[in-house]
Structures are given as C-alpha cells and as structure tokens.
C-alpha cells in the first residue's frame, strides 16, 4: 500500500508580486517583492532609469501621438509632443506559484530524509545479527513505517513508530528513540 503525503501545512508566505519591466532599449528586468506597495515604490524610485513616461514633452520623441501648441516660460509659442511611454511594466501576483515551489521543495526534502532514515533503520537491524526469519518479520513489522518514510510523511511515521509495541528484539524502545531522533534530525521544518 502506498501512502499519499497530505500537506495540511501552516506555511507562512506573504504575497509575492512580480514586476516585469522592458526598458526603452528593449532589455527585460524581473524583480520579486514581498508586497505590492514595495513594487510600486520601486517603480516610482526607478522608472526614470527605464525611459520616459507617457505625456507631453517639448522635445520631439519617436512615434509621437499628436502635437499641440503651448507657451514656454517666456510666453514664446512652442510645440509639445504627446509621447508614449518608452518602457512597459507588468505586475503579477505570483503568491500561489511561490507557495507551490516552497511546498514542493520541503516535500522533496522530507522524501530524501525518509530514504536516509530507512537506511538508518537497516543499519540498526544489521547490527542486531537477526536470523532470516527475523529479517522477514522485521520487514513486515516496519512496512507501514517504511511506506510513510518513502512518501515523506515523517510526522505520521513517528506516530506510527511510537505506537508500535516493543518486543525487545525487532522493535525496542531504544530503536524507536534512535529512529525518531534520526527523523527529527533531517525533516523539513514547515514554517
């Protein structure tokens, strides 16, 4: 029987905003921010580096939209050009994608931990000098724990292990304590 790792995790992840900017030279820049307000502040502080905003300018721009007459500071008639922005910005909420990546990474860490713990259990049992019959019994005894370890369900593996009755040979209280300590040494911490 295979166990599916159910993740009901209290993972703290604040909203993540992705800014994608293309400057006047066509160069792309992507940057992540913890809040939308941080992203907006970054744009305000740095947009002058990326090109010009859409608006009316006295200097002629490429691809101007329209012109109008205006007066300068000395009341001399001038022409102003309605220019489009020379950079573009897109803003996206990527919180769910970032959360999925974090969960996937932590799950992978727990699966690797489970495999390491299975090797540790094997080493414990090898040192006991068990007979072939006892090895078969040991495999059956630990089968549920091994499946849970393989799926990265480490807390459930600990609960299952602790619920096992110690028989003094295949399962001892010392074995259980050592295995739980080994699991706790490498399992992912869900924040």
For helices 154-163 and 143-150, the axis angle rounded to 10 degrees is 170
Q: Which one-letter DSSP state was computed for residue 129? A: T
For helices 154-163 and 173-186, the axis angle rounded to 10 degrees is 170
Give domain limits for the chain: 52-86, 99-186
The predicted-structure confidence for 97-152, as pLDDT tens digits, reads as follows 988 999 999 999 999 999 999 999 989 888 888 888 888 888 888 899 999 999 99
The predicted-structure confidence for 49-92, as pLDDT tens digits, reads as follows 999 999 999 999 888 999 999 998 999 999 999 999 999 999 99
What's the half-sphere exposure (Cβ side, CA atoms, 13 Å) at 127? 6
The reply to whether the predicted model has a pTM over 0.95 is no
């Amino acid at each position: 029987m295979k166990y599916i790792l159910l993740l009901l995790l209290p993972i703290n992840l604040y909203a993540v905003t992705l800014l994608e900017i293309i400057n006047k030279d066509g160069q792309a820049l992507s940057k992540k921010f913890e809040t939308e307000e941080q992203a907006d502040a970054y744009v305000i502080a740095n947009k002058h580096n990326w090109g010009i905003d859409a608006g009316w300018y006295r200097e002629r721009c490429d691809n101007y939209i329209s012109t109008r007459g205006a007066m300068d500071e000395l009341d001399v008639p001038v022409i102003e050009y309605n220019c489009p922005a020379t950079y573009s910005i897109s803003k996206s909420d990527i919180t769910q994608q970032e959360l999925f990546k974090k969960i996937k990474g932590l799950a992978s860490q727990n699966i690797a931990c489970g495999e390491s713990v299975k090797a540790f259990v094997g080493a414990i049992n090898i040192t006991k000098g068990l007979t072939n019959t006892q090895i078969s019994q040991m495999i059956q005894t630990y089968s549920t724990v091994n499946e849970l370890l393989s799926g990265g369900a480490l807390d459930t593996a600990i609960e299952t292990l602790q619920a096992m009755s110690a028989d003094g040979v295949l399962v001892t209280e010392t074995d259980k304590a050592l295995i739980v300590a080994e699991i706790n040494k490498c399992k992912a911490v869900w924040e």
